[in-house]
Structure 1
Amino acid sequence: MEPNQDNGNRISRKSFLRICGSVIAGGSILGVTGNLLWKMFTRPDDIFYGVDKKSTTINRSHVNNIVSPYRKVSAFKISDQIDAFDLYEGRLIVAAPNNIYVYEPSGALVSNFPVGSSVRDVTVDDDRVYLLYPTRVEVYDLEGGWIRDWEACSEESDYCSLTVLSGNVFVTDAANKNICMYTIEGGFVKFIQSPSGFIVPSYSFGITNIDGVVYCSNPGRHLVESYSPEGEYISSFGKPGGAAGLFSGCCNPVYLAGTPTGEIITSEKGIPRISCYGKNGEFHSVLLDEKALGGGHAAYEVRVWDDKLVVAGKDALSIFKYDKKLAVQTACSTCGIDCPLKIGVTI
């Protein structure tokens, strides 16, 4: 698949990625180098589609009337679009264009501090706020005091997502199709390559850590891959398709998160849905379907917070809880895992 053309000219990278359901944060070219930009227009398959130009078409006939076992219990809007968010010590850390906002679960604003535009991801670890930009990482304390920053190790990097584990920062790079491993001080450690080869059609290159293991998406191959804290490959799971338990479209999943018991939560775009998988990759259940999430085509970023799911839309954060009455109609109710997410509500 190639980007659409209009009057003989290819659409902009920004428009193309919007069609793909990617989240674009401010700026027309997002700090991409001229050399990379030229490749995007002259050799888009090399940049966006790797070695495999095939895509799995989303077929809505595969999407059944799925009952979501979770129900929205609260929501609040912020004053700007949400570029990324994280949870830390009972508060929500939200990255928006030019600002970091800290909220209580009720939606009350605790504090904020200015940052640059085009934030791709945010994660908080050990009282440090790590901000990811297309070609650099910045680190702040919780009050917004600058600590350090470092530039990408490649001039053509186009960073997507980051996670912090065991004193190292793992960053996914869509342009170079690898994971960059740094120390928390910014020292380069190594590049991590997938044994299958990463295929990254758009900004769907999510990464997180769960129970001391790094998990990342290999979106063009419809896989979730796992790596040790040292960056060594462990295993993978995932198959292409539109049915529940499969990953559809050209590039899924987009976001990853973990439960307190180590299960893996995935969020997809195209036909948005949030699903749960076991540590061994066994599919458990769709937790939130397209209707429950509010529709659209973009993936919804998700975090697990005690017995709740927190989901980010364009400019709002929504909190979902397990509903025992709804869950009776789903596979989630028969799951034998003692998951704290199953502390439900029924009205």
Structure 2
Amino acid sequence: MKNKMTLWILVVLLLLVLAFMAKDLFLSKNAHVENVYEYDLKELRKVDSLKISHKEVKQIKIQADEIHGIAVDLNDQIYVTTNESVLVLNSNGEKVNYLKVRGVARCITVAENGNILIGLGNRVDIRKPDGSLRNSFLLPGNKAFITSLAIADDNIFIADAGQKIVHHYNIDGEKIKEIGAKDIKEGIKGFVIPSPFFDLLMGRQGELWVVNPGRHAFEAYNVKGEQISSWQRTSMSIEGFSGCCNPANIAMLSDGSFVTVEKGLERVKIHLPSGDMKSIVAAPELFEEGTIGIDLAVDSNDRILVLDPVKKMIRIFEAK
């Protein structure tokens, strides 16, 4: 009899435990929104004001349906690519030229001699300083998609997000080689590019810096295509980069520091040449949440030009 009583007590206790579990799982008002494994983007968007090194000093509105890329030449003229043109502005934002292009101009860079290189899908157009067409060439491959361009003398480096490779061409459109392909023997892991954000630029010593966005890494190559340096910062904190593929775009200051912008968390930062974060230029609160495609440029005075594709403006930041 005593054993039966003990058994019934255990059954009742078990039913009570199951009832409390069911209530917690199915009747709790907050159960459907709470996830201990999900990080809070709202918290990550908060920035310590003491870490902000720059202030916004000017805004230049751009009249276009879409804006994609920005560059600055040696005379601090500003170039903005749109869905059908390249706008050329002086440093005050006044229009000085308008170049009609054949397709959507997604990226741009300007050579020291004034030649203008424009990426349009799988095609590179090279314009003379006056805007007239010098020459044009196509990248082979059905998946070719140009997201960034850099030039050093007659060497053109092309970031191809579609084929996940950097192409090295000469100014006349002749292919020299490919850079950054996976090579286990040489310790090159290859580019991881989950989305069409793949940026590159020329460093102060003539080296080519390429973002490996899926790895949150920067890789430097010499003109021979050999990797000579790299750094990586994967972190949910402000000091690093997170998400599938960041940083989305970069620029370089005169001291060799990198200016970076991310997607997912719209923030502009400065990282030292070593990769360590130095400061914040613009906090996420300055941008519309969900803004994708922010581009960057730096002028001769180290002013940071931020192309905001949602508000359709160039936002200029100076050090405080």
TM norm structure 2: 0.79
Determine the structure 2 residue equivalent to 1:163: 150
- How many residues in Structure 1 have an aligned counterpart in Structure 2? 268
Aligned to 1:73: 57
Secondary structure of the equivalent of 1:199?
coil
Which of 72, 79, 85 aligns to 2:70? It is 85
Residues 106-138 of structure 1 deviation map (CA, whole Å, 9 limit, x = unaligned): 221111121122212111102101011221111
> Which among 99, 102, 108 is matched to residue 122 of structure 1?
108
Give the CA deviation at 1:156.
2.8
Give CA-to-partner distance per residue, 1:143-202, whole Å, 9 cap, x none: 221100011032331221111124211111122211111011111011112511211111
Partner of 2:43: helix, strand, or coil? Answer: helix
- SS at 1:249's partner residue? coil
Q: Tell me the distance in 1 between the aligned counterparts of 2:98 and 2:154.
A: 26
Q: Is the 8 A contact 1:153 1:188 kept in 2?
A: no
1:308 aligned to 2:303?
A: yes
Per the alignment, residue 197 of structure 2 pairs with 204
**Partner Cα distance (1:249, 1:85) in 2:** 24
Equivalent of residue 229 in structure 1, options 214, 219, 223 = 223
Q: Residue type of the partner of 1:82?
A: I
Measure, in 1, the Cα distance between the counterparts of 2:114 and 2:266.
Answer: 32
Q: Name the SS of the counterpart of 1:72 in structure 2.
A: strand
Is there any run of 5+ residues in structure 2 with no aligned partner, and where? 1-37, 182-187
CA distance in 2: counterparts of 1:160 and 1:66, whole angstroms: 32
In the alignment, is the contact (CA less than 8 A) between 1:63 and 1:243 conserved in 2? no
Identity of aligned residues (%): 25
Letter in 1 for 2:219: E
Tell me what 2:291 maps to.
Answer: 297
Native 8 Å contact 2:167 2:177 kept in 1 = yes
| Aligned twin of 2:3 | none
Q: Is the 8 A contact 1:207 1:217 kept in 2?
A: yes
Q: Tell me the distance in 2 between the aligned counterparts of 1:150 and 1:144.
A: 17
Between stretches 186-195 and 293-302, larger displacement belongs to 293-302
Contact 2:86–2:105 under 8 Å retained in 1: no
Match runs of 1:119-198 below 5 Å: 119-125=105-111, 126-194=113-181, 195-198=188-191
Residue aligned with 2:67, SS? coil
Shift of 1:213: 1.7
SS in 2 for 1:235: strand
* Residues 211, 217 of structure 2: 8 Å contact kept: yes
User: Which residue matches 2:278?
Assistant: 284
Alpha-carbon distance in 2 for matches of 1:161, 1:57: 31
Aligned position for 1:258: 252
C-alpha distance in 1, partners of 2:45/2:236? 7
Distance (Å, rounded) in 2 between the aligned partners of 1:220 and 1:57: 19
In structure 1, how many angstroms separate the alpha carbons of the residues matched to 2:292 and 2:47? 20
Q: Is the 8 A contact 1:310 1:317 kept in 2?
A: yes
Return 5+ residue gaps in structure 1 as ranges: 1-55, 324-347
Is the 8 Å Cα contact of residues 84 and 122 (structure 1) preserved in structure 2? Answer: yes
Q: Aligned equivalents of 2:289 and 2:54: distance in 1?
A: 16
Determine if contact 1:213/1:228 at 8 Å carries over to the other structure. yes
Of the structure 1 ranges 152-161 and 220-229, higher mean CA displacement relative to structure 2 is found in 152-161
Q: Is the 8 A contact 2:45 2:285 kept in 1?
A: no
Answer yes or no: is the 8 Å Cα contact 2:55–2:281 preserved in 1: no
Amino acid at match of 1:91: Q
Alignment check: 8 A CA contact 1:69 1:287 kept: yes
Normalised by the size of structure 1, how large is the TM-score? 0.73
Query: Which amino acid in structure 2 is aligned with residue 209 of structure 1?
Result: M
Question: Structure 1 58/203 Cα, relative in aligned 2: closer, same or farther at 3 Å?
Answer: farther
Asked if 2 retains the 8 angstrom alpha-carbon contact of 1:63 and 1:242, the reply is no
- Contact 2:261/2:269 (8 A) holds in 1: yes
Give the Cα–Cα distance (whole angstroms) in 2 for the partners of residues 307 and 114 of structure 1.
29
Alpha-carbon distance between aligned partners in 2 of 1:58 and 1:190, rounded to the nearest angstrom: 44
- Of residues 231-240 and 181-190 in structure 1, the stretch that sits farther from structure 2 once superposed is 231-240
Aligned 8 A contact 1:113 1:144 in 2: yes
Does residue 248 (structure 1) correspond to residue 242 (structure 2)? The answer is yes
The residue number in structure 1 matching 2:95 is 109
